[in-house]
Structure 1
Amino acid sequence: MDDVDRQLISALRHDARASLSDLAITLGVSRTTVRGRIERLRQSGEIVGFSVVLKGDAVRDPVRGLMLIGIEGRGTDRIIRQLNGLSAVRAVHTTNGRWDVIVEIGAESLEDFDDVLARIRRFDGVATSETNLLLSTRKAANG
């Protein structure tokens, strides 16, 4: 992947519906080059798809946060299965460092959010946790 590929991906992240002509002008290359690069990036697996973010999706979770979880023993796989079973869990990430798992949570209210946290803290093997509320999102991973 070269600089033009990186610029193309950046432009697509900004506006995945941009026309080939607009992308070509932005990158200073031909439409054929843009089309070929997009196809090559798709075939190589660098670009795995395109998505649409609906207004309803953006406001679905008025209360959102990240819960960082420390797990004792070898219960990580079991705890991840339990987390994936909770409707309020939007994503589960394994990580290195102080925390074993980072969980993205979305809820309708602070009370609902607190209930989810309490439920997760009761999972057998959850040794410690820290939670941060998300105040605003300036750039979403899929946007």
Structure 2
Amino acid sequence: MDTLDRKIIAALSHNARQSTTAIAAQCDVARTTVHERITRMEARGVIAGYSVVLRDPDEGGKVQVIVMLEVQQQETTRIIKRLEAYPEVKLCLSINGEFDLLLSAEAPRIEDLDVLVDELARIPGVQRTNTSVVFGRKIDRA
């Protein structure tokens, strides 16, 4: 894949229904070039398919936080197992740096997340937390 392929994929990721003419204008190339590139990427399996992503109707009023956890290394597996019990925790990533785990959590009210963060801090082996409230999603390719 080259730069043009990546630009085409980015355009399709943003809106897979846009025309090859629109993508060509964004990439400053001929429509036939875009069409050929898409066909080639589909044939090679780079583009495996297209789908519709529906908005979760319950998602509209949720508040999201990002919680960073510093944990005792020997307790990591047990802590992750404990995190699975919280339905508010939607994502748990193992990361490097001063924190060990990054969590994304959602709830209908900020007060619910306040309680959650307090509970997370009390899990044995969690040394400290750092929480940020998400104001908005600027890019979301999920």
Structure possessing the higher radius of gyration over alpha carbons: 2
Question: Could you tell me which residue of structure 2 aligns to residue 5 of structure 1?
Answer: 5
Question: Any stretches of 5+ residues in structure 2 without a counterpart?
Answer: none
Give, in whole Å, the separation in 1 of the partners of 2:84 and 2:17.
Answer: 32
5+ long unaligned stretches in structure 1: none
What is the match of residue 34 of structure 1? 38
Distance 1:82 1:72 in 2: 14
Q: Quick check: 2:68–2:103 contact (8 Å CA) kept in 1?
A: yes
**Which TM-score applies when normalising by structure 2?**
0.81
Taking the aligned partners of 1:48 and 1:95, their CA distance within structure 2 comes to 30
The corresponding residue for 1:59 is: 60
1:18 counterpart SS class: coil
CA contact (8 A) 2:5 2:37 kept: no
Q: 1:91 is matched with which residue? A: 91
Query: Runs (4+) of structure 1 moved beyond 2 Å?
Result: 16-28, 46-51, 55-58
Please state how far the C-alpha of 1:121 moved relative to its aligned partner: 1.4
% same residue? 24
Please state how far the C-alpha of 1:22 moved relative to its aligned partner.
4.0
Q: Which moved more, 1:90-99 or 1:49-58?
A: 49-58
Q: Structure 2: which amino acid aligns with 1:125? A: G
Q: Deviations over 1:29-79 (max 9, x none)?
A: 142321222442xx35x8687450416265152x11100000013111221
Q: TM-score, normalised by structure 1?
A: 0.81
* Total equivalences in the alignment: 138
